[in-house]
Chain A
Amino acid sequence: MRLTPDMIRLAVPFLALAVLLAGVFWLQPRAMTYSGLNLLFNLAVPIALATLAQMFIISVNDLDLSMGAFVSFVACVTATFLNDAPLVGALILLASIGAYAALGVIIHVRQLPAIVVTLGMSFVWTGLAVMILPSPGGAAPDWIRSLMTVRPPFVPMAIVASVLIALVAHLIIARSTLGVLIRGVGGNERSVARAGWSVLRARAAAYALAALFAVLAGMALVGLTTAADANIALRYTLLSIAGVILGGGEFVGGRVSAVGAVVGALTLALAGSFLSFLRLSPDWQIGAQGAILILVLALRLGLDAMERRRMRA
């Protein structure tokens, strides 16, 4: 079986995750238990969901700088309205998905740089979040809380959820016609339009799907932390971008992988805990994420170059 660059692209994040996990288990064999794994991947689920949300935006060659702010906003809505008045809360969240689709339309129709529009939106979402929850607080709706803390047999919730999420997102982006269309827009917008598709609708759908996954990320986050504040997920903007790239995605060309994105998110989540097992100062937690990002990209470049040389030979 020949290794194609595509497979390398997908194998690298798995390899990075495996190496990290092996390192953790070697340093701390007790992490291999049910509760150990649960602890390791505790916060991975919301990060994975936010990364998938970013992936939908990146697949149409855009970038969302408001992902963290939006997830924080959703967390605040979840911890207040969705808890106190579920119907109102649900309506707000639905409206915010509609807002994302509208953003996609505006960006497409006016040919605006998505990066600046979402930069503006990040202020808007944070502002709304601050108005909803001026100081940390609120409470997670019971059903979300119990869903996030359920203890399935053999494998911890975080891993089961990650696999499920990856599967669903994979079905959408890689298997459905809509997913093909969205990636087609990223790959060659002109020929998609020439074949008679509406690029506008495809972009709006990509934005709406992104909002849907981001909403799930915010709800999952509140389920884990039980409370919210307006800045709870600001780091997700950068983490989600890093996760997509780590998972084999590219900024342009509609090359994304849902499974890769989830693995990338898990790798980033694990990078932090890995250091504490190394007994290194937690100061380096963020740094380790940066270093892993650079290492993986370098590895991918090297493997790509090798593969290309072999193809030419």
Chain B
Amino acid sequence: MNEQTPILSVSDARVRFGEVVALDGVSLALSAGECIGLVGHNGAGKSTLVGILNGGLVPQEGRVEVSGKAAVQTAGWDVATARALGLRCVFQELSLCPNLTVAENARLMHEGLAGGAWRARARALVSKTLDEIFPGHGIDPRATVSMLPIARRQMVEIALAFCDAGTPPGIVILDEPTSSLDAGIARQLLDHVRRFVAAGGTVILISHILSEILNTATRIVVMKDGRVVADRPAAEFTQAGLVTAMGTAGREQARRLEGKGRGEVILTHAPAVGLPFEISRGEVVGLAGLAGHGQTELLRALHGRLSPEWRAHADPKVAYVAGDRRLDGVFDLWSIRRNLTVGALPDLLRRGLVQPEAEDRAAADWKARIGIRTPDMGLPILSLSGGNQQKVLFARALLTRAPLILMDDPMRGVDVGTKQEVYEIIRAEAEKGRSFVWYSTEMEEMELCDRVLVFRDGGIVAELTGASITEEAILAASFLGAA
């Protein structure tokens, strides 16, 4: 443990989102002059922990303490307090106003720039900070953010976090800051982080590039399933050691879906980035890798290619199970029944009108088969629990006669019982000859697949088959590139 008094600490924080435990008693203390590397696979709880630190999220249990001040229970630690202390965040999604110039964004972010001639001062400040971190950056502070390439936007965002316009930066949280930067620029940033830390600043660095963490961090915190599983000086880790720490030792291997061997190829796809692939009849293909590395984009591209825009086909080629239920899954205003049957509308129509008996029959059939727990399929979809809503979305896809089902991480936030039921159904449907392309952030689900494609930086970098689908292999490919 660190002997210095921590400047900010979180102790025993617990956060639940519905049935999902996001943080299960996490403690973390930040001291001046250290860079903490925070690593973990999807859903390990990194973003939730960052949310607590920056004041955006209040833990249901636990405390946030600031050095020299009285302990802050749950209330009292909010975004404004955090900012006043000099805490800054750089998020993965950009938080700049795209329609404003770089200098104007600086003005909105930093109250210290208020007053006369703020434009000139903002320009000077941004330029100075950019020069410090990224010498030779070539960014004009008068440029509109949306006109800048993604890498430069990221650089601006980072520079704004390190700016000193009255309140000097104290703790800077960088969430995947190098994901859109090229190697040279990334090195400049990491050099700056080291300088900043040497001068007494504190940085939390989250990255999927383990070498960055190992070379920059003074201490590494590994998270897994909402807990901190390792918290040691960086020097004590190696790349292989980190990957091992992120995995679960001695976990029982999930039961694999036994495919009947590969049937005829029903689809081949060659994405712009990464390896091409094909899908055969009756096959379950998993898409793995860290979230946001191109899996959803691939599913959308496949769906866009196979699903008609102008006229409904009687025989659909593809069905889609959405991952973000609220955004592109359920129709809030509809009953469970309507939500279930909307995908198979062409089969339920006669002379353009929906046949109520046929619809009821289809809904009742799937209610029984997939076990939707509701007294009445005519109730609003939102009356169901999240897991049951997800089952409805599964049933929607399976009710169609589509030979290919695309699944966009559909099990997020679903309870274990439901998961097992759905796995059974996927197994049964695959046996009947349907193919599944299954993106999931959960390791066990990848181990259920016949074949797994691992994504990194927008494309497929590795293909694992049969017995070679292991947590270690997937982690290695996601963090280190080609296996």
Contacts and interface: CB of A to CB of B under 8 A. Distances in A.
- State yes or no: do A and B touch (Cβ within 8 Å): yes
Given A195-B109, A253-B98, A184 B79 contact: no
Contacts of B107: 177, 180
Nearest to B147: A4
A188 B99 CA distance: 9
B99 A255 contact: yes
Given A187-B100, A192-B108, A196-B111, A175 B80 contact: no
Given A177-B107, A181-B108, A187 B83 contact: no
Interface string A93-135: 0000000000000000000000000000000000000000000
Nearest to A176: B118
A194 B160 CA distance: 14
A270 to B, nearest CB: 28
Interface string A243-254: 000000000011
Contacts of A276: none
A179 to B, nearest CB: 9
A180 B110 CA distance: 13
Contact of B97 (A5, A6, A188): A188
Contacts of B98: 187-188, 253
Interface string B56-81: 10000000000000000000000110
Interface residues of B, number: 21
Contacts of B418: none
Chain A interface residue bracket vs B: 20 to 34
Contacts of B119: 175
A13 interface: no
A217 B80 CA distance: 41
Interface string B96-136: 11111000110111010010001100000000000000000
A264 interface: no
Contacts of B118: 177
Contact of B80 (A5, A188, A196, A253): A196
Given A194-B79, A196-B83, A197-B108, A183 B97 contact: yes
Contacts of A183: 97, 99-100, 104
B481 to A, nearest CB: 26
A187 B147 contact: no
Most buried by A among B105, B108, B111: B108
A186 B98 CA distance: 10
B147 A180 contact: no
Contacts of B97: 183-184, 187-188, 191-192, 254
Interface string A149-190: 000000000000000000000000001010011011011101
A11 B207 CA distance: 43
A187 B97 CA distance: 5
A195 B99 CA distance: 16
B100 A184 contact: yes
Most buried by B among A180, A192, A254: A180
A175 to B, nearest CB: 7
Contacts of A191: 95-97, 108
Nearest to A193: B79
B144 interface: yes
A187 B144 CA distance: 12
B99 A254 contact: yes
A65 to B, nearest CB: 23
A180 B147 CA distance: 17
22 contacts: A5-B147, A175-B119, A177-B118, A180-B107, A180-B108, A183-B99, A184-B108, A186-B99, A187-B98, A191-B96, A191-B97, A191-B108, A192-B108, A194-B79, A194-B95, A195-B109, A196-B83, A197-B108, A253-B99, A254-B97, A254-B99, A255-B99
Interface of B: 56, 79-80, 83, 95-100, 104-105, 107-109, 111, 114, 118-119, 144, 147
Across the A-B interface, give the 5 residue pairs with the lowest CB-CB distance, nearest first.
Answer: A187-B97, A187-B99, A191-B95, A188-B97, A254-B99
Given A180-B100, A187-B98, 9 more contacts: A6-B147, A177-B118, A181-B108, A183-B99, A186-B99, A188-B97, A188-B98, A196-B79, A196-B111
Interface of A: 4-6, 175, 177, 180-181, 183-184, 186-188, 190-192, 194-197, 253-255
